[in-house]
Amino acid sequence: MHYHGAHHGIGSHLSCTVFCQFNASLHIIFMIGFLSHVPDFLIILASMNYTLQQTTKQAKELLIPVYGIRETEQLLFLIYENVLLMSRWQQITSTHTKIPNSDYNQIMLITKRLLNHEPIQYILGETAFYGLTFKVNPAVLIPRPETEELVDWIIRDHKNSASTIVDVGTGSGCIAVSLAKNLTQSTVYAIDVSEQALEQAKANAQLNQVVVQFFKTDVLKQPWPGFPKKPNLIVSNPPYVTHKEKNRMQANVLDYEPSLALFVSDDDPLLFYREIATQARNLLADDGWLYFEINEALGNQTVRLLESFGYRQIELRADINGKHRMLKALWKNPIKH
């Protein structure tokens, strides 16, 4: 539930390169309400089969003041892959290719939605995660690179085992599906409170041709499902963003991603971790593992919580950016040891 994003500040200087082909009166009309109306205006006037280079120039003039150069280039690569079905190499080497008007219009419509801070993953309806494609919509969080690191950690630790795995708060199913795809000897279950999220997760399991068994459960209020075998591994990326942290979040997250999957009370930010850790003591097989994605500001508190519950060999791990965003802990039944 990563909430770092692009800096969406809007610059005050706007280049007029796009508009030089129009007469002065049209130029004045065009500048009125620039951010909200330019894409529609471009669509109305799109009758000349722009080249990829011209389209890129126009889109950049709209997007760079909002997203910056680097993120704008990444966005355009994704848009062209989706709309024009062009690989990145083709995009680089085919800049003088003429674009059909229908494709140009679609690119400008997507650009307009981006100017409203709508996430590109929701606009395109999909995203890449751990080498797989996942369908996403506003009912589920957009999978983040940090969660890929958690998945990779689990796969490396358990690649030769036939585990029973439970993913708590599955959302899009990115964790459960990725584990099922890569740990082919394992059995994977997934839980979520949201029916809409479960529908999306089931679709992603089917899309990626894996078997995951899904359950609708509110883990804070309802008994957990019964599993044929005790899980060897429970993993969760639960809500962990406090409301006081909202001012650090970008508009594309606050305005579009599901609050249910993001936020937890300022008074009890470890609520989900405490409940999952409590239930896991009863559910996990002896020598079973618990994996969490965590709030980077609460790493030490989360470690102390698990220590108080009797978990051992707790390892707090930093992500690629050096932030402590994940941990694992071993459960040994104290009666047996």
Report how far residue 143's alpha carbon sits from residue 6's, in angstroms, rounded to the nearest whole number.
Answer: 16
pTM of the entire structure?
0.84
Q: Are 207 and 135 in contact (CB under 8 A)?
A: yes
Residue 141 above 90 pLDDT? yes
| 335: number of Cβ within 10 Å | 6
Q: What is the pLDDT of residues 39-72, one digit of tens each?
A: 555 554 545 689 999 999 999 999 999 999 999 9
Residue 212 above 70 pLDDT? yes
Query: Using CB atoms within 10 A of its CB, is residue 290 exposed (0-12), middle (13-18) or buried (19+)?
Result: buried
Q: What is the pLDDT of residues 4-51, one digit of tens each?
A: 333 222 222 223 333 333 333 333 234 334 444 555 555 545 456 899
Residue 261 above 60 pLDDT? yes
Q: Where in the chain is the domain with CATH 3.40.50.150?
A: 124-331
Class at the top of the CATH hierarchy for domain 124-331 = alpha beta
